[in-house]
Structure 1
Amino acid sequence: MEDEVLSLHDRLMNWLLTPLFLLWLFSTVAGYVATLNYASQPYDRALLERAQSLAAQMKLGSGRERLDVTPTLPAGGAPGEQDRMYYSVSNEEGRMLVGNADLARPISYRGGKTGPLFSNTEHGGEKTRMVSLVYPGPPGSPSFQLHMSETTHQRQASIRGIFANIVIPQLLLIVIAVGAVWYALKQGLEPLERLRQDVTLRHRDDLSRLDETQAPAEVRPLINAVNDLLERLKQVMLAQQRFVADAAHQLRTPFAGLKTQTELALRETEPERKQYALQQILTSAKRGNHLVNQLLALARNEPGGQGAETFAPLDLNRLAQECTVNWVPMALEKGMDLGFEGISQVAPLRGDAASLTEMLGNLIDNAIRYTQAGGQVTVSVDYEHGGAVLRVVDNGPGIAPPHRERVFERFYRVLGSGQSGSGIGLAIVAEVAKRHGATITLNAGPHDKGTLVTIRFPHHGT
């Protein structure tokens, strides 16, 4: 099962709130440690003062100690939450001499430290805080240790109170921050939501551009990319619609004629007339097949028909020579001279060999078809200014200047030529050239006779 993909809103909430939560957690731990430290200091000072007061009552370290005195222990804490006080006086070996609890320890536990020594202990199952003091006697007199501890109920209550005053406001701030972040994200993503609704409510045939003016600057590159995709898709759909319309228009007439000729052949009883009708059906079928192939070739080379992924390095010189050889039989049938003029070096080109063969085939077909018997057609390849150049020249009747631009339009045919055709051969040439980034020029041939078609391809390294 694939992982659920989070929405942009959820991703932003996670990225914003997770550090905020971690910051609150760190602040809480740091606040607790600081509270524990600062809240304990005044209680430790009070405990030390009580221990020193007790030592004064017993005159410890004076050499005239009064260990039999019953000291007055101060009551610790507030009513209902009083802490109990414990003390003991011991010698250096840690043997208790007097006190209300055995807290004695050998003096070696201090590790050579002087002054008050605080430690956390337990007594009677309760946590206590103890301070230890050493009182050396006069020379020749023993030293005494005083240990006093108190339970920690009051200081723990104080710590909880201080900690609550720190954590609760921080928690409220976190809740307010979460609400503010959620609202800000909702308002910030509102343009994207409107854009989503706009796309959702669109008709399936609506390929108009998305409005990027109301979108955030960070999203505009994405919208521009989507608009470019919509524009390309629109071109593909228009090309598809145009192809369907052209195919329906061009195929209607030949198939209608084929149907009529078939009906006539079925009604004929004489073998010769039936044979003639069948021959006409065969001719119409060949024309229809040629037209279908031309339409498919045009569709393949229209924008969106095929991409540059079919392009590969090739030698235009070799490709043109092989294609020209294939048209020699047709030229010989018409008594024409079909020649090829190549170059000794390679004419490198990156392109689609099948499309280029279709393009050159249409140029040679047109040249042979519209040139008189006994005429000449020459295919030549050259390499100029870093790019391959293909030329097809004939000595036929030529094309008048007013028609030279329009002959590359679909189904446009020059009247009075006396030749049948689909009218899309040069349209295929134009589409293939456009797909390969080449430019086409159509001029008169040598001595202003015939037609010269020149196709210049871009530098093969670009």
Structure 2
Amino acid sequence: MTGSLKGRLFLLLLVTTGVVWLSATAWIYVSTRAEVERVLDARLMEAARMVSSLVQSQDIDMDAAAQIAAPAVDAARGPYERHLSCQIWSLSGSLLGRSDGAPAERLSNHTDGFAERIVDGETWRVYAVRDPSSGVEVLVGDNLEMRARLVRDMVKGLLLPMLLIAPLLAGIIWLAVRRGMRPLDRLAATLGEREADGLHPLPSEASVSEIRPVVASLNGLLERVAWARDHERQFLAYAAHELRTPLSGLKTQAQIATRSDDAAIRSAALAQIVTAVDRTSRLVRQLLATAEAEAVSAEDDRSPVPLAPLLHDLLGDQRARLAEKGGHLVVDASLHDIVAGNQRLVCLALRNLVENAVSHSPQGGTVVLRRSGAAILVEDEGPGMPDDELARATERFFRGRDHVAVGSGLGLSIVKLCAEKLGGNIELSNRASGGLAARLTIPDLQVREAQACQSS
């Protein structure tokens, strides 16, 4: 039961009610005891003064006067009737009179006011009145055990009905919890009856106020799931279209190469096949990179990543591609920093940035990687991008008007995805001297005082 919300709420209410109940009982006990003590002390004082005044009048016998303060026991009048015992002593120390049942031993040795004393193993509270004019001292005592029994019986009379009512109260609390949790049960039933593609919002108007934040959060989640699924469908549709085009071209060029007797035509067809294979290979690789970037969590493997050896291993093939164009890939010495973040995300972002720059570099062009503040800057000497396309360059499958033949429109979108997961961003701008500058900002980028990475 404690593993469920209903069980926890039931136990919480039951324990809280029990604590309040016991606290009230303790308060009643303390206040009742104090009130009983006050009333009985007042009775002692009144009885002692009454006996003293009777003795002063000398109109009554001493035993009779003591008996007035503490009358004989009448069993029919209950167990609390015999509360008081009275003794009348002469100032010389002789017992002049006492009530029935009063001990023969002196109740107290004090001469005036209240005091407590143990007599025959019992504790007595005694009030004394000393009258020098009549030569007597009146002691009226009350057995404290009788007082304690009176208080206990009063509290017991309160507790017994409470204990009898406790099971009924627990049942009422359980029924109230079940009834109060019905809106949540209905919400769970509604979600359980939905099909896998039922992503429409839950109605919130009929929900109780405590459930509305849950419904609002669930609707937000359903909206995000619906958006992600639509985004995935759109991605797959674009990917299928992008793959279909080069595959169709491959088939066409292969048919031309196999059916033509002209060596020049066959050579041109084979060159087209190589281009289509390159484009298809890059598209497949970037599709896999997109899936990897979406699957990786930025919280995984947050150990610092040294950039210099990482770039050396990562960019070897891009350096070779650029060398085929007669260009150079330069890794500036300022990149002897440490990127504290997920190594896989950093690798994916940098590789796609450099690959995009190499693809757009002209013959003999140079691609430079360097640090710029808390960012990594990748610059090329290509044609750049029209200003109206810069804002859309990181969209998936957006290739622009001046796209290259082997481009797939995924590279910069992968960089943006990685940057967002690292808590950073990607900014694109055209260089004044020509070409594109991509600024990858990573919040965890830190400067390390170490030897510089060698330029290529």
Bucket of the pairwise TM-score, normalised by the shorter protein = 0.5 to 0.7
Cα distance, 1:379–1:299 mapped onto 2, change above 3 Å: same
Q: Which stretch shows the higher mean deviation, 31-40 or 204-213?
A: 204-213
Distance 1:416 1:151 in 2: 110
1:339 matched to 2:328? The reply is yes
1:326 matched to 2:314: no
> Which of 95, 109, 113 is the aligned partner of 2:111?
113
Q: How does 1:91-170 map to 2 (within 5 A)?
A: 103-106=103-106, 109-110=108-109, 112-115=110-113, 134=130
TM-score by length of 2: 0.61
Using the TM superposition, give the Cα deviation of residue 455 of structure 1 relative to its aligned residue in structure 2, in angstroms. 0.9
Give the residue type in structure 1 aligned to 2:355: N
Q: Closer, same or farther in 2 for the Cα pair 1:357/1:113, shift >3 Å?
A: same
Contact 1:363 1:429 in 2 (8 A): no
Q: Distance in 2 between matches of 1:163 and 1:412?
A: 83
AA paired with 2:425? G
In the aligned structure 1, how far is the partner of 2:394 from the partner of 2:65? 121
User: Which residue does 2:297 correspond to in 1?
Assistant: 307
Confirm or deny: 8 A CA contact 1:378 1:392 kept in the other structure.
yes
The residue number in structure 1 matching 2:349 is 356
CA contact (8 A) 1:439 1:456 kept: yes
Aligned to 1:439: 427
Q: 1:23 to 1:415 in 2, by over 3 A?
A: closer
Larger radius of gyration between Structure 1 and Structure 2: 1
- Deviation of 1:378 after TM superposition, in Å, equals 1.4
Aligned mates of 2:111, 2:119 — CA distance in 1: 19
Moved more, 322-331 or 84-93: 84-93
Contact 1:95 1:105 in 2 (8 A): no
Between the aligned partners of 1:418 and 1:41, the Cα distance in structure 2 is 107
Amino acid at match of 1:453: L
User: Conserved in 2, the CA contact under 8 Å of 1:433 and 1:439?
Assistant: no
Q: Does structure 2 conserve the Cα–Cα contact (< 8 Å) formed by 1:342 and 1:380?
A: yes
Distance 1:218 1:299 in 2: 39
| Structure 2 counterpart of 1:454, one-letter code | A
Alignment of 1:28-43 (within 5 A): 28-41=28-41, 43=43
2:77 maps to 1:81? yes
Per the alignment, residue 259 of structure 2 pairs with none
1:396-435, aligned counterparts within 5 Å?
A: 409-411=395-397, 419=405, 422=408, 424-429=410-415, 431-432=417-418
* 2:77 aligned partner, one-letter code: E
Taking the aligned partners of 1:154 and 1:101, their CA distance within structure 2 comes to: 14
CA–CA separation in structure 1 for the residues paired with 2:34 and 2:240: 86
Q: Does 1:17 align with 2:17?
A: yes
**d(CA) in 1 for partners of 2:24, 2:354:** 77
Q: Could you tell me how far apart the structure 1 residues matched to 2:173 and 2:130 are?
A: 59
Q: For residues 445 and 260 of structure 1, do their structure 2 counterparts lie closer, same or farther at Cα, with a shift above 3 Å needed?
A: same
Q: Percent identity?
A: 21
How far off its partner does 1:56 sit? 5.2
- After superposition, the C-alpha distances for 1:114-154 in whole angstroms (9 at most, x for unaligned) are 2576779789xx9998665555588xxxx655556689999
Name the CA distance, whole Å, in 2 between partners of 1:169 and 1:457: 75
Write the deviation string for residues 15-62 of structure 1: whole angstroms up to 9, x where unpaired: 7535532431232112321341244245425532564366458789xx
Q: 1:167 to 1:48 in 2, by over 3 A?
A: farther
Q: 1:272 — aligned with what?
A: none
Q: Tell me, what secondary structure is at the counterpart of 2:360?
A: helix
Counterparts of 1:292 and 1:238 in 2: how far apart (Å)?
Answer: 21
Summarize the Cα distance change of 1:233–1:98 in structure 2 as closer, same or farther, 3 Å threshold.
same
Between the two proteins, the alignment pairs up a number of residues equal to 417
CA contact (8 A) 2:44 2:140 kept: no
Match of 2:381 in 1: 393
Q: Distance in 2 between matches of 1:146 and 1:417?
A: 120
Provide structure 1 residue ranges, at least 5 long, that are not aligned to the other structure: 61-65, 263-275, 447-451
* Mapped partners of 1:24, 1:422: distance in 2: 77
Unmatched 5+ stretches in structure 2: 255-266, 446-456
